[in-house]
Amino acid sequence: MNKGFFRVACGAPSVAVADPKANAASIISLISRAFEAGAEMLVLPEMCVTGYTCADLFHSRTLLNASSEALKRIAEATESAPGMLVWVGAPVETPRGLLNCAIAIANGRALAAIPKTYIPNYNEFYEKRWWSSAPSEEITADLWDGRGGHEVPVSVSQLVRTPSGVLVGAEICEDLWSPAPPSTVAALAGAEILVNLSASDDLIGKHAYLRSLVTGQSARCIAAYAYASAGYGESSTDLVFDAKLMIAENGTMLAENARWTRETQLTIADVDIEALRRDRMHITTFADCARRNGDPQFRIACVSGSSPERPSDNPDELLRTIAPRPFVPGGDPSLLAGRCEEIINIQVAGLAKRLDATHCRSLVIGISGGLDSTLALLVACRTFDSMGLDRKGITGVTMPGFGTTGRTHSNAVTLMDTLGISQREISIVPAVKLHFADIGHDPENHDVTYENSQARERTQILMDLANRLGGMVLGTGDLSELALGWATYNGDHMSMYAVNAGVPKTLVRHLTRYFADTTDNQACRAALLDVIDTPVSPELLPPTAEGTIAQETEDLVGPYDLHDFFLYYTLRYGFTPERILYMARKAFAGEFDDATIEKWIRVFFRRFFAQQFKRSCLPDGPKVGSVCLSPRGDWRMPSDASSAVWM
């Protein structure tokens, strides 16, 4: 296992029905290919040694002897792939009848045989004619392998441990379709990867349904699920097989093959075992469910030796996609639009409830012409519309200061005009100058006092104006700023409801673009697009001689693209800085170099720990995604915790 990632391969060999010798050759070729690719485990289809469609030939001594000899050859071949666990499907003769088994083989030896539990006998399936269901007790069977044959445990209640310590459980085809899949119990017993050896024929609509079963089971079990089904060579008589290979992880499909090909196929992906282990620890109902089911006790067979070596330790060689912007919804445009609507509806529902609960029909928002206040304003307008309220109940306040530029001021005014809200403009310059005189601060000294005095003056104006209008102040700060502490304590840090508190900066930009793409007002759209293109800035320092923004936030604290990436994997999975750095190198290859990523991850952890005191007294705000920093919900952290081990 490399950096917590476990490499899984699913293969579909060329199958000649009732010709185990030919099938063994194809299987051995796939074993070699998977091993060369650095796979730590290979999953092959149900009955791939004999072919699934042998029918009454399964009870032929000739076929069973040939299957045993082929299994011996396959086991011998695994000696050339040390440490790799291989799952093959073959018939196993036992005192409880002929069983359809998933056989675990490694280092030249068969380790375990896990029989099929649910034997289908409906529609095109007549399996009970040939197979017995898995016995309730553990039995043994004499299997040929590369060492001349030995007794192997035959039971559904067993797992296999790989050299890297990953526990694997197996089931076969129909087991997944049952109301209580054996893989569920295997997961509760500790299996982190579930494998399914299948020979599912193809029908109209079946693939989509099966895909949902695979991803759904991986999500329910907080596990990876590797599915390998029979392909072209099995197509015989009335059934057609398309070779379905899928690797899913906790509800997400990591990799799948192109179906309907005649060639042998291999699909490989890196499974994030560390993420799965963290979720099982964090989601306490998983352990509760295991206890409710009697804490299943499974026999564990161990693969000896060390894990196969990876071709490279370079993150570029990682066989999985790592999205550089994990908060931003991706994929099909229609699905993307639906996700944006869902996020906005969450914000709107939270704000509407707060307005109803406080019997408030007036909102006051500071409008800077920046991203955060723009999104808060758009959500406020949508909320008032949904409640049947006049948008004039929303008061937008522009508060020009020492750093305000014509660009941001113009965008702020345009947005308020086109959205039809009430407007106020109150310059903070005279009040802040008087305040400087009162506290003895030199206005030419552009230090933290110079900046924070402006932020607190703006908050005072908003709070007092809200009192006069019988309304409340709508906060505009976002999740990324909360993580970095990029807010003035008791300044823009404070409001009566923080509508953007669950939305990171990368998502704020995306949602604003969604509003721009869906508005019919061209002036509003132009302003929104310019807001998106404007550098993020608190505008607390005087502009340049050309009148442009002199204080760009990302020059000071780092790129929000990076910080949102660090934030997601710190909060969602609790990964170490070293692992996040490794993943960031993969995600941002060609965008940020290694030195830049390492520089800003240090800044992230230093600020994240040092600024917790600001998060400990946050106003309420709606949780939008899986990551949130509310001290009353998702994130409870001592304000004085040391960051030493993270640094």
Q: Which of the residues are catalytic?
A: 46, 116, 173
- Give the angle 78-80-82 at the CA atoms, nearest 5°: 75
597's tokens: 């990523």
In the 3-class helix/strand/coil scheme, how is 33-54 assigned residue by residue?
Answer: HHHHCCCCEEECCCCCCCCHHH
Block residue for tokens 């823009």: 492
- What residues pair up with 257 in beta bridges, in sequence order? none
CA distance 378 to 331: 24
CA distance 462 to 492: 10
CB atoms within 10 A of CB 242: 21
User: What number of helices (H) and strands (E) belong to the chain?
Assistant: 20, 20
Q: What backbone phi and psi angles, to 5 degrees, belong to 435?
A: -65, -40
Q: Using an 8 Å Cβ cutoff, are 62 and 43 in contact? A: no
Collapsing DSSP states into helix, strand and coil, what is residue 507?
A: helix
Collapsing DSSP states into helix, strand and coil, what is residue 385?
A: helix
Q: What backbone phi and psi angles, to 5 degrees, belong to 102?
A: -95, 115
CA distance 613 to 247: 42
- What residues pair up with 364 in beta bridges, in sequence order? 395, 473
CA distance 161 to 41: 11
- What residues pair up with 142 in beta bridges, in sequence order? 151
Closest CA to 185 of 87, 278, 289, 112: 289
CA distance 201 to 174: 12
Angstrom CA distances, 265 to 17, 26, 34, 346, stand at 18, 11, 11, 44
Angstrom CA distances, 200 to 87, 474, 617, stand at 17, 56, 56
402's tokens: 């020492």
Strand ranges across the sheet with 265-272? 139-143, 150-154, 109-115, 97-106, 85-94, 41-43, 5-12, 265-272
Q: Using an 8 Å Cβ cutoff, are 510 and 534 in contact? A: no
Burial of 425 (0-12, 13-18, 19+ CB in 10 A): middle
- What residues pair up with 172 in beta bridges, in sequence order? 197
CA distance 281 to 575: 13
CA distance 72 to 65: 11
Q: Using an 8 Å Cβ cutoff, are 397 and 426 in contact? A: yes
Q: Using an 8 Å Cβ cutoff, are 248 and 272 in contact? A: no
453 HSE (CA, 13 A, CB side):
26
- DSSP secondary structure of 457-482: HHHHHHHHHHHHHT-EEEE---HHHH
Q: Using an 8 Å Cβ cutoff, are 472 and 364 in contact? A: yes
72's tokens: 């011996």
Q: What backbone phi and psi angles, to 5 degrees, belong to 416?
A: -65, -40
